[in-house]
Amino acid sequence: MTGTIFRIAALLALCGSACAAPPEACSVVTLDEVNAIAAGAAVRTQVNKAGNPTECAYIDAKKAAVLVVSMREVQYAAENELQIERENLEKIYRGKVKWLATVGENGFWMPINKQLVFRKGHTLVSVKFARTANQNEVDSAQIGRMVDAKLR
């Protein structure tokens, strides 16, 4: 019985390092950082999803989203997952992405739905402003670079 418990604990510890969830999305970008770009529009954060994937919404006073950041940890072939994400978005929105070398290890901007997606290690990150004034590549890339700097 003790041997079984020890084996289960060892497997959980092994999975903890190999199956690790990304950091909580609300912890990688602060309200002050968002407000520096969004002109003070965000007043609080709201966890939309916890675990893997994790998603955080930065909310304004009217309870509308200003920015949504989501992160998903993949175990293998992160670049392939990024390519699959790109293919799916291009099929859904019937448009092409613009590849970006300035955010993460590889990433793209989807102009039709105003979304930035990039990869850092085994983490796929999506940045999407809901506030019309910030729905552009420059503002999204600024947030993306902040997230990129905080990921391992």
**In the chain, where the domains are located:** 21-150
Task: Work out the mean pLDDT of the chain and round it to a whole number.
Answer: 89
Average pLDDT over residues 96-113: 96
28-41 tens-digit pLDDT: 999 999 999 999 99
Q: Can you tell me the distance from the alpha carbon of 151 to that of 143, in angstroms, rounded to the nearest whole number?
A: 13
Phi, psi angle pair for 105, to nearest 5°: -85, -25
Q: Can you tell me the distance from the alpha carbon of 129 to that of 115, in angstroms, rounded to the nearest whole number?
A: 8
Q: Can you tell me the distance from the alpha carbon of 125 to that of 127, in angstroms, rounded to the nearest whole number?
A: 7
What pLDDT is stored for residue 21 in this prediction?
80
- 7-11, 16-20, 45-49, 70-74: the lowest-pLDDT one: 7-11
| pLDDT value at 87 more than 50 | yes
53-to-70, 101, 102 alpha-carbon distances in Å: 7, 24, 24
CB atoms within 10 A of CB 79: 13
Structure tokens at 84: 């699959």
Q: How confident is the model at residue 18 (pLDDT cuts 50, 70, 90)?
A: very low
Q: How confident is the model at residue 6 (pLDDT cuts 50, 70, 90)?
A: very low
What pLDDT is stored for residue 19 in this prediction?
54
Q: Can you tell me the distance from the alpha carbon of 119 to that of 64, in angstroms, rounded to the nearest whole number?
A: 27
| pLDDT value at 100 more than 70 | yes
| pLDDT value at 126 more than 50 | yes
